[in-house]
């Protein structure tokens, strides 16, 4: 059974940093795409950053230059380093892992950026 555990959310001031971590267990996820999505209040869930099984990374335009995604394949872990945070980054952040038709979500971790 796949399990996803997220950590690292919290409250930070404008311009601050947070580091989100996600650990997946239950199988070998090295070939899977792992990454982060977010959902702001009243908005649809949107991609933040993902890394596929080949190591290719994709970032949303609104985080380029501020956020960095990294993976530890041996540990089935994906980390999102978030710098220069803005109030508009306030959202529930979800870890996602997927491969073809298989798609799994974490429960989410709240990030709140105060102005």
Full DSSP string of 83-99:
-S--GGG-EEEEEEEEE
Average pLDDT of the chain is 96
- Residue 61 has phi, psi (to 5 degrees) of -60, -35
CA 82, CA 101: separation in Å to the nearest integer? 29
Give the model's confidence band at 1: pLDDT under 50 very low, under 70 low, under 90 confident, else very high: confident
CA 44, CA 52: separation in Å to the nearest integer? 22
pLDDT of 7 > 90? The answer is yes
Q: Cα–Cα–Cα angle for 99, 66, 91, nearest 5°?
A: 65
């Amino acid at each position: 059974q796949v399990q996803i555990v997220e950590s690292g959310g919290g409250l930070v001031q404008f311009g601050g940093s947070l580091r989100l971590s996600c650990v997946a267990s239950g199988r070998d996820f090295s070939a899977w795409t792992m990454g982060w999505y977010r959902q702001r209040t009243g908005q649809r869930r949107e991609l933040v950053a993902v890394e596929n099984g080949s190591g290719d990374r994709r970032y949303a335009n609104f985080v380029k230059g501020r956020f960095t995604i990294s993976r530890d394949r041996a540990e089935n872990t994906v980390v999102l380093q978030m710098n220069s945070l803005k109030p508009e980054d306030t959202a529930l952040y979800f870890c996602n892992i997927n491969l073809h038709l298989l798609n799994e979500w974490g429960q989410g971790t709240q990030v709140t950026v105060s102005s």
